[in-house]
Amino acid sequence: MKFVELHGERVAYREAGAGEALLLIHGMAGSSATWRAVLPQLSKKYRVVAPDLFGHGESAKPRGDYSLGAFAVSLRDLLDELGITRATVVGQSLGGGVAMQFVYQHRDYCQRLVLISSGGLGPDLSLTLRMLSAPGVELVLPVVASRPVLNVANKLGSWLTSAGVHSPSDSAEIWSAYSSLSDGQTRQAFLRTLRSVVDYRGQAVSAINRLHLSSGLPILLIWGDQDRIIPVAHGYAAHDAVAGSRLEVLAGVGHFPHVESPTAVVEILDDFIATTGPMPI
């Protein structure tokens, strides 16, 4: 983990490798740690930068703007600080929405776009996240995500596992994200971020009608066919909306393909980069 100060606020990021740059953007309530299984493999051929977005992980959690546009600006500033002028931008879940906003605002920085189980491509979303966006949740979360409650749930999970009860393959990553909400500052930043893109009806921000503006940009979509948070139908719809895009659907995989099937994701990414030229400036 490395750290840099941007506009008076600390940004944490992981960086490894050399060569063509890859910018990896994590999802809601996540952190750069979500890329732990793919970063070592990717860094053998590329310069990989994986930041903790503001409000997440070890980055600062200011009382400020947590919109997609604000995230995109902070990522541009980070690339400038690191001397990176162009990158293949990879975003997962919320990070996909941030990645699309980044392309929209800072197109000249983008060589390719990779969306993994991406948000921002339709309204459908898990009931849990829709409920968490509701007014008054900030009064409930400190109780249901408190450390004593999490400790009890962890013990129960360990008991079920030892009893041979297996949970879905993406459950560990979802639980890690939920556990992060035991911290007050992280919880406040999470709610600001969530409410900037989600309401009780689902995702409130969609890029599907602006995807045509990415003409000429190589686009790859990766989805798990068992995604319980954002349905794979969004991947098919985006693929149909963007001529020349590539869609890879992984069987038996949930919302975190890069965690659940890292080797397949690395191979797909590597092939995509090898078979597409970067978008001309």
Q: Which residues are catalytic?
A: 93, 227, 255
Measure the CA–CA gap between 31 and 261, rounded to whole angstroms.
18
Q: Which long-range contacts (CB under 8 A, 24 or more apart) does 105-109 make?
A: 105/69, 105/72, 105/73, 105/76, 106/72, 106/76, 107/217, 108/281, 109/76, 109/79, 109/85
Q: Say if strands 198-199 and 87-92 run parallel, antiparallel, or are unpaired.
A: unpaired
Residues contacting 178, CB < 8 A, separation 6+: 29, 145
- Give CA separation, 90 vs 47, 118, 139, in Å: 13, 10, 34
DSSP H helix total and E strand total for the chain: 11, 10
CB atoms < 10 A from the CB of 184, how many? 11
Distance of CA 223 to the CA centre of its chain: 13
The residue assigned the tokens 């930068």 is 49
CB atoms < 10 A from the CB of 280, how many? 7
- Give CA separation, 260 vs 9, 47, 111, 141, 173, in Å: 33, 23, 26, 28, 9
DSSP run (H or E) holding 78: helix 68-82
C-alpha gyration radius of the chain:
18
